[in-house]
Chains A and B, each alone.
Chain A
């Protein structure tokens, strides 16, 4: 007999239990190091691009499926090639009558017009007739004559778009005008995907809508996300890496779509002023912002502006961050990225203020 009476036996048993419980907690916490959060990924084609949404958390599976459905829903509203979309309805009624639209379409067009005003027309959704003329809508490329360019450019002006908030209508005041939301739709969708994911029990997510990236929360190892910015001269590598979270990173560049004729390369980013491909000294523009719609519109607008005006625009706004890669390969980053953006090996970054 180890113990002299019943009380001591009970007390000793409790002591054992306490020690075992402590060790149990220790063991389970240690084995927890290897446990992975529930992860779910969806890959799909939408908005004429390839999309990947990955979420981490208890309801990750439900969340990514709901986010995918939301993107499809937006595509059905915003597509210019789908006859039944609201954007097609607006275009079909150009110069005829205002078209009633959903809250999403109204909102995305409002944001687009706001971006046009902010950038003095460097971003313009009425660029559609010019895109069509050069064949970028159908991938049947064509270099138009100066008369043709002029005629198409006549139809481009965001001030010809009239919004009526009380009746929720959009009216293109000139006949044959057309809008294309290609420069904002994915950014808007990215914001909506984040909103949908956040309505579920999700701790973190990584979203890539055709290279338009958004990340939020922390990675499984509690570190921040590493978002690479593609090298416009070699898309298999990147010029630098951003280490951050709760941001969208949206990049535009002439490398995305272009064609070469008679030794000259024509890119898909058009200058709304000239009706011709933008003659920019930039190879790519990446906007880092909490707002995907803003990032999408500004990446196009700053590309059209060129490096000097783009840096000036950042100085006068500073509600976003930017990484510019010039056609000479120089990497320029706004100074607020010091500490979060680092050039990849073999590259150098100049922070501007």
Chain B
């Protein structure tokens, strides 16, 4: 084997004065090949995972929070018939409606009625806010990257 290394050295370089000379042999190429394959496999895995995340819209939920605390969570994929909820304790006049994969604030005891005027929400990130009740009804997705909106934020 030692002889073969020396032969290779002569063949590819010819410089055999003093310093050790480095040259590839078949084992080196095998190791390089394996590492290269590993790199390509990793790259493909990451790439495919990202594409999968983008394509997967995930299950949608309607979530109501009051002062940041979650008081209602309904799986929209399970909703076909209309269902009404009064999730705020001591406030039966605040009503959330879930129907056909959509959600809205059906009724509110606030004066401005802005939250009711928003109407049905269906896409991830859609939101209706009731400032007097400090309540936020939002559509959320299990997959964080599944936004369907063409924008990141909206100015209104």
Contact = CB atoms under 8 A, between A and B. Distances in A.
Interface string B131-156: 10010100000000000011111111
Contacts of A219: 152
Contacts of B35: 19-20, 23
- The winner among A139, A257, A344 for most chain B CB atoms within 10 A is A139
A139 B67 CA distance: 21
B88 interface: no
Contacts of A116: none
Interface residues of A, number: 55
A353 B114 CA distance: 36
A27 interface: yes
B5 interface: yes
Nearest to B119: A236
A4 B6 contact: yes
Given A27-B39, A31-B42, A50-B129, A139 B153 contact: no
Interface in A1-51: 1-5, 7-8, 10-12, 14-16, 19-20, 23, 26-27, 30-31, 33-34, 43-45, 48-50
Contacts of B90: none
Contacts, number: 128
A4 B154 CA distance: 71
B134 A208 contact: no
Interface stretch (A103-111, A223-231, A272-280): A223-231
Interface in B107-142: 110-112, 114, 118-119, 121, 126, 129, 131, 134, 136
A20 B42 CA distance: 16
Interface residues of B, number: 45
Interface string B35-48: 11011001100110
B16 to A, nearest CB: 11
Interface stretch (A118-126, A209-217, A312-320): A209-217
Nearest to A5: B2
At the interface, is chain B mostly helix, strand, loop or mixed?
mixed
A77 to B, nearest CB: 20
B126 A236 contact: yes
A238 B150 CA distance: 9
Given A34-B50, A211-B155, A251-B155, A241 B31 contact: no
27 contacts: A2-B27, A4-B5, A8-B5, A11-B21, A15-B22, A23-B36, A27-B42, A30-B43, A33-B47, A33-B50, A34-B50, A43-B136, A45-B134, A139-B111, A208-B153, A208-B154, A213-B153, A213-B155, A226-B150, A226-B153, A227-B154, A228-B155, A229-B155, A238-B151, A238-B154, A250-B155, A257-B114
6 A-B pairs with least C-beta separation? A4-B2, A230-B156, A228-B151, A139-B111, A11-B20, A211-B156
